Amino acid sequence: MLIAPATAAECPRRAAAPDARLAGLLEQANRPDAPLQSAQLTPALARDGLAGLTHSLCAPGPDIAQVRQATLPGADGPIALRLYDPAPAEASLPICLYLHGGGHMAGSIAVYDPICRRLAMQAQCRVLALEYRLAPEHPYPQGLKDCAQALAALPAWLAAQGLALPGGLAGGLTVAGDSAGGALTASLAALAQQRAELRFARQILIYPSLDYTMALPSIEENASGYLLDARRIRWYFEQYFQSAQPPQRRAASPLHMPATAALPPTLLFTAGFCPLRDEGYAYAQQLQAQGVPCTHWHLPGMIHAFMNMQALVPDACDAVYQRMGQFMRA
């Protein structure tokens, strides 16, 4: 069955049931003895779970003409970066800084290698994957600080590689992220309203985490049974914020940060059975109220993290990559 993204206005927020191709995965994940059902959540379990899911359901990506390791300067040490360049001789390729998901606790350049390879090839863009620090070892705002420092350092690094963006970051850079990476992307966009050195051309958010208060209905509607559940989200946030109180969590939420017309044009993807679904809808409405161009594509039969499940829903994943490429060239 072909899954084609539909605009949010064209389809219900949730299908009658998740895509049938996800049934076996969900049945296995929901067994009482499954690792994700463990009463004792740990950072190692979260990291191994995301890595294992991606390794088993997202086969190694395509060969890329050039893949290079690099570092950007950070106040607390070098920040690792990996460049995926599908056409080194082509000067006009879009450039995308990609921030991986994982609840601010899991994920890495290595785990997301197949996703970044597919993005580079299918969207025909240069992808820069960033290794920001993770909780609980590095709680809020250290990961966000890494992303902001890397973003500010990027123009000089790109120029040194012969990849300077016409007009600087604001003239051409796309920042994209899924889940927690979407939270970081939207947080950078909010900060950039006041910090010129952080302004970038456009943002892409894939089932983003935008409200650390967990207040919207989809958190309860999709609270359990669809891989990412409300209990784990709450635990992720406890590890990420640690001593931060609820008012601080609200202030750190992109959905509750000040929004102006200075936010960048946005491409947003949501999934019907994702607990974070309604945060994406609310953010899209917020942008539209400010006159910020926002294209919202909704996949009513998908679950959170479906981009890490290429083997099960390849058409849905490919559609997202292709929309990303179109958006970066629009």
Structure confidence at residue 268 (pLDDT): 98
Does pLDDT of 243 surpass 90?
A: no
- Confidence band for 3, pLDDT divided at 50, 70 and 90: low
- Per the CB < 8 A criterion, the answer to whether 301 and 1 are in contact is no
Which pairing describes strands 266-271 and 294-299: parallel, antiparallel, or unpaired?
Answer: parallel
Distance CA(103)–CA(236), nearest Å, equals 6
- Mean pLDDT rounded to a whole number for the chain: 95
The catalytic residue positions are 179
pLDDT tens by residue, 106-148: 999 999 999 999 999 999 999 999 999 999 999 999 999 999 9
Structure confidence at residue 34 (pLDDT): 79
Amino acid letter, 219: I
Structure confidence at residue 155 (pLDDT): 94
Of how many residues is the chain composed?
330
Query: Looking at residues 61-86, what average pLDDT do you find?
Result: 96
Strand-pair partners of 129: 82, 98
Strand-pair partners of 67: 84
- Per the CB < 8 A criterion, the answer to whether 101 and 177 are in contact is yes
Say which residues have a Cβ less than 8 Å from residue 16's Cβ, sequence separation at least 6: none
Q: Which of 244, 230, 250 is nearest to 139 (CA)?
A: 244
Structure confidence at residue 4 (pLDDT): 62
- Per the CB < 8 A criterion, the answer to whether 51 and 111 are in contact is yes
Does pLDDT of 97 surpass 90?
A: yes
pTM over 0.95: yes
Does pLDDT of 2 surpass 60?
A: no
- Per the CB < 8 A criterion, the answer to whether 68 and 101 are in contact is no
Q: How many CB atoms lie within 10 A of CB 323?
A: 18
pLDDT tens by residue, 168-226: 899 899 999 999 999 999 999 999 999 999 999 999 999 999 999 999 999 999 999 99
- Confidence band for 9, pLDDT divided at 50, 70 and 90: confident
Structure confidence at residue 1 (pLDDT): 40
- Confidence band for 40, pLDDT divided at 50, 70 and 90: confident
Task: Give all domains of the chain, ordered by start, each with its CATH number.
Answer: 24-329 (3.40.50.1820)
Distance CA(299)–CA(319), nearest Å, equals 10
CA angle 197, 198, 202 (to 5 degrees): 130
